[in-house]
Amino acid sequence: MKLLLQTTIPYTKDDWSIERFSVLAQYLSELTDANGNHLYTVSARDRENMANGDEKTLSTLDQSDVDQLWLFGVDVGGGLSDNDCVAIERFRQRGGGVLTSRDHEDLGISFCTLGDIGGAHHFHTKNQELEVARRAIDDTETPSLSWPNYHSGKNGDSQRIRVTQPVHPVMRSQRSSSGAIEFLPAHPHEGAVSIPQGTGARVIAIGRSLLTGREFNLAVAFERDGSRGRAVADSSFHHFLDYNFDPNCGCPSYVTEPTGRGMQDNPEAMEDTRAYIRNLASWLS
């Protein structure tokens, strides 16, 4: 299986470029089956604009031999062209699996044009959460950032999550007695996802704000529909970042919030995160 990990911005050293997802890329590339055969060939890249504004790879994704797209929305606009989105939809129509993950406020707002997957992501200026009461700041510790911004903990810490029943394959764990993943990396201001109207998607994991106690969705899964591939909408790309696994890996200069050590000090949290990654790759196939 060929996996493409891609951000929605051109390479920028002082930003969340694809090099900050190196632990994820390496882990996926090292996964093997029972006979020791590698399961995935992994490519990791940032956006590369052509003269017409389309992305070099995404705009022809349906014509490629890629099996899965893991798309990290780190833009605040201009991260996907119309042709990119059309090609991604055609990619799904031929059975390709898609993970989309973004973050607070309007980060990853280009996802809005990704059909039903885009409809699962809520932003500050577009496709706002239907519940008006949720259009309010949750993370009051970083006042420069507006809603949606659910506070699940410090970067580098883990958050205890609630898995919906029945346990979805993406959320299964052989480690815990419940059979479900219990922890994921935390982040001070996660984005918002929900089930788009008129779809058969379902919420598969839920977090809880440490500041307000409010629950929020962490992941929404779309089942295969005929030949159309599966998809997952994830609330924060910080669930996959080197920095959130270990803050010593570094971050862009504009990130100033205090960090924690929960992921490093809690082996169960790191194993649950690895299970989430493994399950995503397996299920999206």
**Helix (H/G/I), strand (E/B), else coil: 245:** helix
Name residue 155's beta-bridge partners. Answer: 259
Enclosing domain of residue 88: 2-284
Confidence class of residue 279 from pLDDT cuts 50, 70 and 90? very high
CATH number, domain of 219, equals 3.40.50.880
Token output for 4: 């493409």
Could you tell me if 40 and 2 are in contact, meaning their C-beta atoms sit under 8 angstroms apart?
Answer: yes
Query: For residue 279, what are the contacts with CB-CB under 8 A and spacing of at least 6?
Result: 169, 170, 171, 172
Confidence class of residue 124 from pLDDT cuts 50, 70 and 90? very high
Distance, in Å, from the CA atom of 211 to the CA atom of 139, rounded to the nearest integer, reads 7
pLDDT digits (tens, 9 = 90+) for 63-106: 999 999 999 999 999 999 999 999 999 999 999 999 999 999 99
Distance, in Å, from the CA atom of 233 to the CA atom of 101, rounded to the nearest integer, reads 6
pLDDT digits (tens, 9 = 90+) for 20-58: 999 999 999 999 999 999 999 999 999 999 999 999 999
Spatial CA neighbour of 15 closest among 73, 57, 65: 73
pLDDT digits (tens, 9 = 90+) for 211-269: 999 999 999 999 998 999 999 999 999 999 999 999 999 999 999 999 999 999 999 99
Structural domain count of the chain: 1
State the Cα torsion 165-159-148-247 to the nearest 10°: -140
CA distances from 234 to 26, 36, 39, 84, 218 (A): 20, 30, 23, 20, 6
Distance, in Å, from the CA atom of 140 to the CA atom of 203, rounded to the nearest integer, reads 26
Work out the average pLDDT over 155-180: 97
The counts of H helices and E strands in the chain are 6, 12
115 in the Ramachandran plot: left (φ > 0), alpha (ψ -120 to 50) or beta?
left
Could you tell me if 72 and 21 are in contact, meaning their C-beta atoms sit under 8 angstroms apart?
Answer: yes
Angle at 221 between CA 216 and CA 222, to 5 degrees: 140
Distance, in Å, from the CA atom of 265 to the CA atom of 269, rounded to the nearest integer, reads 9
pLDDT at 7: 98
pLDDT digits (tens, 9 = 90+) for 3-24: 999 999 999 999 999 999 999 9
Place of tokens 């629950």: 215
Work out the average pLDDT over 135-161: 97
pLDDT at 208: 98
**Mean pLDDT (the chain, rounded):** 97
Confidence class of residue 191 from pLDDT cuts 50, 70 and 90? very high
Token output for 21: 């997802």
97 in the Ramachandran plot: left (φ > 0), alpha (ψ -120 to 50) or beta?
beta
